[in-house]
Each structure stands twice: as C-alpha cells, then as structure tokens.
C-alpha cells in the first residue's frame, strides 16, 4: 500500500501563537473537492473577522487532487507550506484551514512559511493519523454446530470479522489484509488447517479500511 494513503484519525483543531499572532488550524476528513470547499467556506464564515483563512487539501488515491490558497498572505507563504505538510505526512482525504488573527508583528516570508507549516504539523500530531490499507473480503459458510468454534478461532488469531449472518448456514464475512504477493493464500492455508479442510473462503471483493499505523 502506497505510504501516501493515510488519513487523520479524527477531525479537530489546534492553536499556536507566534509573535502575538494566533494561528488556529482546523482539520477535517473529506471525500471530495466539494466537501473540502464546503469545510473551508464554513471555517471562513465562522472566523469572518480573522485576518486570513488559508487552506490546503488533498483528496483521492495518493492525494492525487491537491489545492491550496494563501487567502491574501504573500504568494507561497501559507497554502503551499500547508500543502507540503499534508504531502510529507502522506495524508489524503484531508483538508486543513489555518485561521490567522494578526498580532501586530510582521513575520516576513520565511516566518510565515514556518508558522503555517508548524500550525498544520502540530494539529496533525494532536489528532493522530491512520493508515489506509486494502483488505480482501472473504465469505466462509459453515453449519451452526461449527459456527462457535470458527468464531473463536478467527478472533483468537486476530482476524477481522466484519459480520456473521445466520441464515441457512452461519456465514462469516472476514477482512484479510492484502499485504503481499500471495494475496489471501496464507489465510486460506490457515483456515484449511484449523478446520481440517471442512471450510473454505470465497472471495467477495475488496475494501479499503483505515487502521492504526
């Protein structure tokens, strides 16, 4: 999985003060450009009296869509360093808005770059990040008599049970990480060994999940 596929663990905000200027960074998870634009507009409305509301976001696989705005700060001193922090952390589907309340002391171009970058970096540290990984979706059908034992074995081995459906049989939906070239071969071998070949996993697609680093 490409290291660029990370997301923030939760929405949040974090404030720093530099030379009496307040820099409040607001972060949110978003799924597309429209959602990012809506979040930015909401922060600007909330902080309408601020000197600047600079923004940056990355969305899509590997953060393929990236935008930034200096919102009146000297060109390249706010949005770009904010975007660079998001890229350096490998974040996607994430929008950052740094609201600045001017404290009366000019920071200069270099000072602004450092301030806006630091505001985003510290906010990310505060909310944490998750790794986006691809999992195979597998379905396992067994009789009711075997269901309890299979559930115990799956949980004991640390496998992700997404759901259990009790219809004509007990049908387990399991998420298995696709971390190597063997795909689900290792899980298939484990299942065959644990059940003496009585149960088999049927592929049912893939899903992207956000998991701890």
Binned average pLDDT, 10 residues per bin, the chain of 213 residues: 76 96 97 97 97 97 95 97 97 98 94 98 97 95 94 96 94 90 87 93 94 86
Tokens of 138: 């597998």
- What is the pLDDT at residue 183? 78
pLDDT at 4: 55
Q: Give me the pLDDT at residue 181, please.
A: 66
| Cα-to-chain-centroid distance, residue 104 | 36
Report d(CA 194, CA 40) in Å as an integer: 52
Q: Which residues of 181-203 are buried (b: 16+ CB within 10 A; e: fewer)?
A: eeebeebeebbeebbeeebebee
| Per-residue pLDDT, 88 | 96
* CATH T-level assignment (fold) for domain 131-211: Alpha-Beta Plaits (3.30.70)
Q: Do domains 6-127 and 131-211 have the same CATH topology?
A: no
Query: Domain 6-127 belongs to what architecture?
Result: 2-Layer Sandwich (3.30)
Per-residue pLDDT, 5: 85
In terms of Cβ atoms closer than 10 Å to its own Cβ (0-12, 13-18, 19+), residue 29 is: buried
State the pairing for strand pair 94-101/129-142: unpaired
H helix or E strand, kind and range, residue 45: helix 33-46
Q: What is the pLDDT of residue 182?
A: 75
Output the CA torsion sign for 66, 72, 78, 82: negative
Residue 2: per-residue pLDDT:
47
The structural domains of the chain, with segments of one domain joined by +, span: 6-127, 131-211
Helix (H/G/I), strand (E/B), else coil: 9: coil
């Amino acid at each position: 999985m490409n290291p660029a596929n990370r997301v923030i663990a939760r929405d949040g905000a974090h404030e720093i003060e530099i030379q009496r200027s307040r820099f409040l960074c607001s972060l949110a998870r978003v799924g597309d450009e429209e959602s990012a634009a809506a979040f930015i507009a909401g922060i600007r409305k909330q902080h309408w009296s601020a000197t600047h509301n600079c923004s940056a976001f990355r969305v899509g696989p590997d953060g393929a869509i990236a935008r930034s705005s200096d919102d009146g700060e000297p060109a390249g001193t706010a949005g770009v360093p904010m975007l660079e922090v998001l890229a350096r952390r490998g974040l996607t589907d994430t929008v950052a808005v740094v609201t600045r309340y001017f404290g009366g002391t000019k920071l200069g171009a270099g000072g602004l770059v450092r301030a806006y970058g630091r505001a985003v970096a510290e906010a990310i540290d505060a909310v944490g990040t998750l790794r986006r990984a691809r999992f195979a979706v597998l379905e396992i059908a067994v009789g009711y008599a075997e269901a309890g034992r299979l559930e115990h074995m799956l949980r004991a081995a640390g496998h992700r049970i997404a759901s259990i459906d009790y219809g004509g049989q007990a049908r387990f939906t399991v998420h298995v990480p696709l971390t190597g070239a063997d795909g689900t071969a290792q899980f298939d071998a484990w299942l065959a060994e644990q059940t003496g070949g009585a149960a088999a996993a049927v592929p049912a697609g893939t899903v992207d999940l956000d998991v701890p680093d």
